[in-house]
Amino acid sequence: MSRLHDFERMLDDKLRKLFRGTAPQGHKLELVEVHRAILDEVASRIESLPRGRRLFAYPRVTVKILLPDADRRSSYEAAFVENGALARDIAGRIADEHVDLPEKFRVEVDLVDELPESFASRGFEIEYQTEAAAKAAPAAAMPAIWLKVLTGTADKAEYSLRRARVNIGRLTDVIDSQQRLLRRNDIAFAETANPTVSRTHAHIEFQAGTGEFRLFDDRSAQGTTVLRDGNIIPVPKGPSKGVVLCPGDEIVVGQARLSFEIHSEADTR
């Protein structure tokens, strides 16, 4: 039996055990089939070179997976997103084809609500970026963001920050039962005055490739939303693509609220 066949059997067994008893059988099989089709397409990009050499020329692979319905998000996150599951499986499939991975190989996975019609029928779309394209694409300069506390009690009334990641939560330092530091919040709400704000509530990330700031919920108890022009935009909990923030947005964490602005020039405090 080939190593590749062993690898495929191992993945199928892993996925079936993961979802045993958690979803209707048809849904489980569909997810496994999408997973296998993604690996097969990535493997099809392996090139054969002279003297028996084989090459996978893409240091960055972006996989967009169509989420059939909201009720199945947890299953899809477990199979494709959590703990880099799909990235590890793709790397394993390429390695099993006796091909070395490119330097700084990276897989990005997004669960999306819609895809172009040409991709929707199979349930995923894959984008491949060559090393030359990765070097040619300039990273967007990181502007500063300005956050003002509208509701709630934090250690400051206003924050001006220029960071790739900004953590939002209750307390400055979050420690575990053994007094180990788990996380440091850049925007820290007071412990007693803000019970609806989780200690590790949410974070903002700057996306250098697009120049966007995205808001993510870190599995908070009370949830995270964005208020924009009278509309309420929920932020999915746990691993997700987050929500793009726009100047003028209000960030709601529990019952606390922050205004969000972007400044091209600002001091970092």
Instruction: Write the pLDDT tens digit of every residue in 225-245.
Output: 999 999 999 999 877 788 999
| Residue 86, both tokens | 């799909």
Q: Tell me if 222 sits within 8 A of 198, measured CB to CB.
A: yes
pLDDT at 268: 44
Angle formed by the axes of helices 85-96 and 25-44, to 10°? 50
- Residue 17 C-beta-side C-alpha neighbours within 13 Å: 6
pLDDT at 139: 61
Q: Which residues pair with 1 in a beta bridge?
A: none
pLDDT at 101: 79
Place of tokens 């995270």: 224
Residues of the chain with pLDDT under 50: 1-7, 21, 266-269
Q: 3-state DSSP call for residue 151?
A: strand
Q: 3-state DSSP call for residue 19?
A: coil
Angle formed by the axes of helices 3-18 and 25-44, to 10°? 150
Q: Containing H/E element for 145?
A: strand 144-151
Residues near 102 by beta carbon (within 8 Å), at least 6 away in sequence: 56, 57, 58, 59, 131
pLDDT at 72: 79
Residues near 69 by beta carbon (within 8 Å), at least 6 away in sequence: none
Q: Is the pTM of this model over 0.85?
A: no
pLDDT at 2: 47
